[in-house]
Structure 1
Amino acid sequence: AIASKQTGQVVMVTGAGGSIGSELCRQILALRPTKLLLFEHSEFNLYNVLSELERRIARESLSVELLPILGSVRNESKLLDVMKSWKVDTVYHAAAYKHVPMMEDNPCEAIKTNVFGTKTIADKAVKHGASKFVMISTDKAVNPTNVMGASKRIAEIYVQSLNNSLSADSHIFQNGLSYINELDVKPITRFITTRFGNVLGSNGSVIPRFKQQIEKGGPITVTHPNITRYFMTIPEACRLVLEAGCMGKGGEIFVFDMGKSVKIIDLAHKMIRLAGLIPNQDIKVEYSGLRPGEKLFEELLNDNENTMPTHHEKIMIGKVREYVFSEVETAIYSLIASAK
């Protein structure tokens, strides 16, 4: 079913050179779209993912055209040009700033990329008739205690309220979307959000950091003895993103079953032992204290949300509070203005 939805399509992945974005590209390539647009703001990351995918296309004789596009989701004219030129069918929006402590120090950048960037590409997807927009979100958007989580929750609210307004008979659109009020036919874009926890081995995450600390002889630094996190492999998370994108009708926030949460101290001890060493003897473990905005445990849903099952055992639909688009848009314009 997933293959039939992507075969012959023009698919765009933002943040295509990142941990999630690059794996999405690998999996989408196997579904044989006609064109795969790799949208990425890091030249180095774009070069790496492009080289890898080109080798695979040659090896497997795939007839997929790769289009590497260097640019930022904050660049409105660039996005407009891309969506217009290539007639994109499906957007997977993985571009985001995701490091919690860094976004605490750079809150305006989190707003500009995670909120304004999402709004910009979502608006352009509507304008140029993309049929589906799948946003990658995070469990940190639930009851957010940090700037990164709050920025992702605002992005979730924007795309969900936009989706619901497009499917309603409303004439509430203003600013850059005011043209929708005059259309005879409703825009076709359907917005879907996927929300999951940490992925194993992503850039800057805990496992590569522990590995590096062990190689240097320690110490391993853990923020708190009781801190826990949910983990999933990158390929599994991306498979579920594609599944959810395929089953979504529009307006859903899909929540993935992440299994049991893992105590980070247990993970540290396990990694030390796997290296043939003894915790607190060969490699010391030190507690550095919770960082600004960091939670002891993550939640995939808040207390007021519940889930509805889908036909996929690992994918649920989160029942979240929904917001009126006109109010959301006004608040977001104000937020973006204050971040500039």
Structure 2
Amino acid sequence: MFRVNREMITSGDNYLKISSLRYLPRWMVLLMDVSILFISLSISYYILSNITTLPSVLPVVAMYAIVIGITVTFMLIFNTYSGIIRHSSFVDLQKIFWSLFLAIVVILGGKYAILLTTKIKIFYTPLILLYFVISFTLLLVFRITVKQSFLFLKKLKKSQEKKRLLVLGISNHSVAIAGAILDNDNLPYEMNGFLTKRNDSKYARLLGKRIITREMVLKKTKEQLAIDGVLLLRELLDKDELDEWVTLLLEKDIEIFQAPIVEEFSNNRIEANIRNLQIEDLLERTPIKIQNGEIMKRHFEKAILVTGGAGSIGSEIVRQVAQFKPSLIVVLDQAETPLYEIEIELREKFPDVNFKFILADISNNLRLEPIFEKYNFSMVYHAAAYKHVPMIEHNPHEAVLVNVLGSKNLALLASKYKVSRFVMISTDKAVNPTNVMGASKRVAELFVQSLQDIEGNTTKFITTRFGNVLGSNGSVIPHFKRQIQNGGPVTITHPDIVRYFMTIPEACELVLQAGSMGQGGEIYMFDMGKPIKILDLAQKMIKLSGLEIDKDIKITFTGLRHGEKLYEELLTDGSKTLPTPNEKIMVSKDPTMEFNEINTLIKKVIKAALRRDKIEVVIFMKKIVPEFKSNNSIFEKLDK
């Protein structure tokens, strides 16, 4: 009932904007004060006239004019009308008291002076004293009323803007977070109760708030439940429980918020810790169990090179490697601004780590060799690559220069300068590629593997394959977020398209683990779990943003892009997998090529790339990677 009345008061044309006023004009305050003085004198006159006969030396109008005039004069002297009433303080009350007191002193002083000289009694003393008491009381009540009215309307307005939340669960942690919200009135949240699966709690109350069961949520709408959202504590839920609750709440268009357990933050930071549940939170999987001892041995007091170090994967590799106290980390990238930004971040976060930030293009071997010669690297993490499928499909020669030639340069230098381990970051798009980007990465894989057995090589060459990485530069989730923030539409290439996903930390943990366990020549792949339908992903993201599909944000289908396929694969047709000590990591036994064969073919494709001959580039790539069949591309004709 209160909710309805509150909305009637504060919505539409009836919205009370009084609480938004900065202050009442001074003339208005003075006018109200004069009105109160008039009312006070009238009340005093009425009371005493019913008790006794008042002397009538002066006409009533003259008496009113003199008494109120003298009082107003002292109010002007003390500026009683100049303060902001809703912020009235003890000082303001003192001003009112002294203006009234001195006015009464002057009035009674004048009365007795006239009485002594003329023997005429112009004022009735009890009337003036009663006027003093009543006027002071009413002026005080007026200011208190205005102040409390502003506070009430402000609170009402603020309450109207607050999100009405249920806290999921009735554990000690849930009660603690609910109590923290109740104790902080400045939060934009209103604690409305608790939500639980347990049916034995529906008649109980916690912290004076109701307990709502899952069955009640199933049967009622969020309007009937009088809530806007549910706050959950991620640490208390396993993935299945989280998915179950999220599915139910999104079906009911109920917003979902999350917070850490209450011990992890203080009350003055509670608002910063409560946020909307993100799609990344739903896609997070069980972390990889990495062998920190082995990884520490590979990095402690060693010189490390990370190419593409300003990118999303490369920069996370740097962050993780920095924890193992290497003697040096060289961060190499050709993107100037991102490299500068990551330098600022890393120097601040790891002040004790020795960093070198190098702006360079990996296709320029003359630029790379002095770096290898100078720093004596123990490990190289090669994350630099062009990766955007449609862009590379239109520029296949650039893919060859960076993904193929750049990888070749780095791998040969790693072997020449006796780098202990070379870890290349590849992609699941290299498996049975349907686009130039995937094919270029497969060519690079074949070349890197071929170096393992050449005469005199001591470097262990290791490749890791990823699916799509959540939140990486240019990936689908940041793209969808921008579209949702801009009001839509959210664009999807095909309603049936599916992809594998992992988090950036997961991907980089895999890189470090693979780099430590590899014996050379392996392609490591990750247990990616189940593929995710992109349409389902977009729908959940819209709902998690508190918006309605089609009403607030539309979803449109644009058609498959050049080189794009519906389903990604993790293994080539002729490959087999072998287990490793880590159950999440497997070795893919893909077909390989001899160094001389792959090197000859790569030289030809690089020459074609330098001539900017797109067709010839793709023809040579299809010779190197026979399973490369173009899809939705101008290069499909080459497969016929």
After TM superposition, is the score higher than 0.5?
yes
Write the mapping of 1:1-340 to structure 2, written as runs, cut at 5 A.
Answer: 1-58=294-351, 62=352, 64-166=353-455, 186-340=456-610
How many angstroms apart in 1 are the aligned matches of 2:329 and 2:478?
A: 29
How many angstroms apart in 1 are the aligned matches of 2:528 and 2:346?
A: 28
After superposition, the C-alpha distances for 1:19-71 in whole angstroms (9 at most, x for unaligned) are 1000000000001110000011011111111111100123xxx3x21011110
How many angstroms apart in 1 are the aligned matches of 2:499 and 2:305?
A: 30
SS of the aligned residue for 1:134 comes to strand
Moved over 6 A (4+): none
After superposition, the C-alpha distances for 1:147-170 in whole angstroms (9 at most, x for unaligned) are 00000000000000111224xxxx
TM-score, reference length from structure 2: 0.49
Cα contact 2:451–2:457 (8 A) shared by 1: no
Please identify which structure carries the higher helix content: 2
Measured after TM superposition, the shift of residue 328 of structure 1 is 0.5
Measured after TM superposition, the shift of residue 262 of structure 1 is 0.3
SS of the aligned residue for 2:547 comes to coil
Measured after TM superposition, the shift of residue 304 of structure 1 is 2.0
User: Aligned pair count?
Assistant: 317
SS of the aligned residue for 2:454 comes to helix
How many angstroms apart in 1 are the aligned matches of 2:374 and 2:510?
A: 29
Whichever residue aligns with residue 488 of structure 2, its letter is: G
- Higher RCO structure, 1 or 2 (CA under 8 Å, sep 6+): 1
Measured after TM superposition, the shift of residue 198 of structure 1 is 0.4
SS of the aligned residue for 1:27 comes to helix
SS of the aligned residue for 2:505 comes to helix
After superposition, the C-alpha distances for 1:191-225 in whole angstroms (9 at most, x for unaligned) are 00000100001111110110011111110000000
Whichever residue aligns with residue 444 of structure 2, its letter is: A
Computed over aligned residues only, the root mean square deviation of the Cα atoms, in angstroms, reads 0.8
Whichever residue aligns with residue 383 of structure 2, its letter is: A
How many angstroms apart in 2 are the aligned matches of 1:226 and 1:52?
A: 39
How many angstroms apart in 2 are the aligned matches of 1:129 and 1:77?
A: 18
Measured after TM superposition, the shift of residue 325 of structure 1 is 1.0
After superposition, the C-alpha distances for 1:88-110 in whole angstroms (9 at most, x for unaligned) are 11100000000000001111000
Whichever residue aligns with residue 242 of structure 1, its letter is: L
How many angstroms apart in 1 are the aligned matches of 2:584 and 2:453?
A: 25
Percent pairwise identity: 54
Q: What are structure 1's unaligned runs of at least 5 residues? A: 167-185
Q: What are structure 2's unaligned runs of at least 5 residues? A: 1-293, 611-640
How many angstroms apart in 2 are the aligned matches of 1:110 and 1:24?
A: 23
How many angstroms apart in 2 are the aligned matches of 1:131 and 1:337?
A: 31
SS of the aligned residue for 1:137 comes to strand
How many angstroms apart in 2 are the aligned matches of 1:303 and 1:261?
A: 19
Is the radius of gyration larger for structure 1 or structure 2?
2
